[in-house]
Amino acid sequence: MTAEELHPSRRISLRKTLIQQAPLLVVLVLLWLFLWGSFTPIDIIMGIVVAIAVTQIFELPPVQLSGRFNPWWLLVFLVDFARQVIAGSFQVAGLALHFGKVVKSSVIEVKLTTKSDFVMTLTAIAISLVPGSLILEVDRTGSTLFLHVLNAETAEAIEKVRRRVLVTERALLRALGSRDELTASDERCRSDS
């Protein structure tokens, strides 16, 4: 069946699906190339074939993007994220080298503002990559993250971690989120302080 034989609404739907899946396809092709460690034309073609096969066989749900991207706030997020990773590395190293001290940890529930799977996933990944914290569970319907955090035994330490997660979410919303969710996050931050 050719594109001309398709009904016009079917062509628009197919085009829209391909546009929505384009970022995923690009990421999958890049992942394929990095896994093989080769960037020859045949590797690129095979990466495209594998990426299309994966997206068609596994029928992944479409990622709903806000259509908003702010490079400045993404840069601010990345700088702050690098600072958190470095600080977390030193904190965990200090705990590991402090012999005889029993390190207590906590499981913390953090209710996010966003309903976007994309922003929620990026927030969870960013928090998990900071040494000393790990995402245990994600409740998509309730927009809630459950994290395991080292050395957070006091109410102040737990609240500090909760604020850090919300600040991370807010930074990602500034860079990639919808205006409505960013406004809701800003209002929440004002009411929490």
Helix or strand (DSSP H, E) at 110: strand 105-111
Residue 123 tokens read as 């927030």
For a pLDDT cut of 90, what percent of the chain falls above it?
A: 37
Of 52-66, 103-117, 123-137, 146-160, the range with the lowest mean pLDDT is: 52-66
The string of pLDDT tens digits covering residues 145-162 is 999 999 888 899 999 999
Q: Which residues have a Cβ under 8 Å from the Cβ of 133 and sit 6 or more positions away? A: 88, 127, 147, 148, 149, 150, 161
pLDDT at res. 147: 94
pLDDT at res. 1: 47
pLDDT at res. 111: 94
| pTM for the predicted model, two decimal places | 0.70
pLDDT at res. 183: 79
| Closest by Cα among 124, 30, 22 to 63 | 22
pLDDT at res. 162: 93
